[in-house]
Amino acid sequence: MSCSVHGSSQTTFVCKHLAENPVQKWNCGYPDEDDQWPDAWCNECNAAYEQEGEWNERNHRIVDIKLLCSGCYDDGIAKSVDRLAGDVLLQWESWSNNCCKVLSEKQSALWEKFSINQYPRWDYDQESAQLIFSGADTPDLVADVEFVGSLSTVSDTWKWSWANFSLLPQVRSRISAVRDFGEAHDYPSLIVPMWYADQPDGWHMTGIAAEILGAQGGYCAPSDNGFIFMVIMDVRFAASK
């Protein structure tokens, strides 16, 4: 379809309630390579769906399906991360901030033991899911990593690696556990594929991923249009491989 805002785009469908007010829960499947913008509906429409077990003539009027372009869909679902309020919001903020505190402690220990920040060169390899540090006068380090997500400084958005199908499976094989945790606790920042963010948000998500995955630390690498965030699952001197 042709959108006045986003130009030529893919099409998708949402209920009228999400189209009118996106800051609420989006009931939809997770994106995959064949369907990156799955149809979505609000809690009110989901209750009607569950009552019938399907969409039929008795509940389709409640839904009132609207056609959206993929860009408008991305913009709408991104706004839904702001739906938390009250005690749930306070709980989320307290827990996520504590994850960042723990990550900071892990970083200090990791940096002290391996002096990662002193290596003049780093490279990551998606096929081996490794981050390699090297220097002329110091031993090389090899770290096993899991990509958490990417931050675009062009669009000011965070995108989870589980929703980034340009990445190899080797570097995003475990990150779905973070999404599952978000689903279980209804934390939208962990289950919305892409949302508006800045660099501190990227570190927050990395701290959360490190906590859930039991990582030893995190790393932020520059990319063509922003940064790639990853967690370090294991690190060792190259001679011990």
Q: Which residues of 51-79 are buried (b: 16+ CB within 10 A; e: fewer)?
A: eeeebeeebeebbeeeebbbbbbbbbbbb
Instruction: Give the Cα separation of 116 and 213 in Å (integer).
Output: 21
Q: Which residue has 């699952």 as its token pair?
A: 233
At 241 the pLDDT is: 42
Average pLDDT (185-213) is: 97
* Average pLDDT value for the chain: 94
Taking CA 218 as the corner, what is the angle to CA 227 and CA 165, rounded to the nearest 5 degrees? 50
The domain tally of the chain equals 2
Strands (E) across 135-212 are located at 141-152, 157-160, 194-196
Give the pLDDT confidence of 130-182 residue by residue, as tens digits: 999 988 666 589 999 999 999 999 999 999 999 999 999 999 999 999 999 99
What's the Cα-to-Cα distance from 83 to each of 21, 26, 78, 117, 137, rounded to whole Å? 11, 10, 11, 38, 51
Range of the domain at 205: 84-240
Residues 104, 65 share a domain: no
Looking at residues 72-88, what average pLDDT do you find?
97
Q: Are residues 73 and 94 in the same domain?
A: no
For residues 114 and 157, state if they share a domain: yes
Instruction: Specify whether 145 is located in the same domain as 227.
Output: yes
> Is 70 in the same domain as 101?
no
If one counts every other C-beta atom within 10 angstroms of the C-beta of residue 138, the result is 14
227 three-class SS? strand
pTM of the model: 0.93
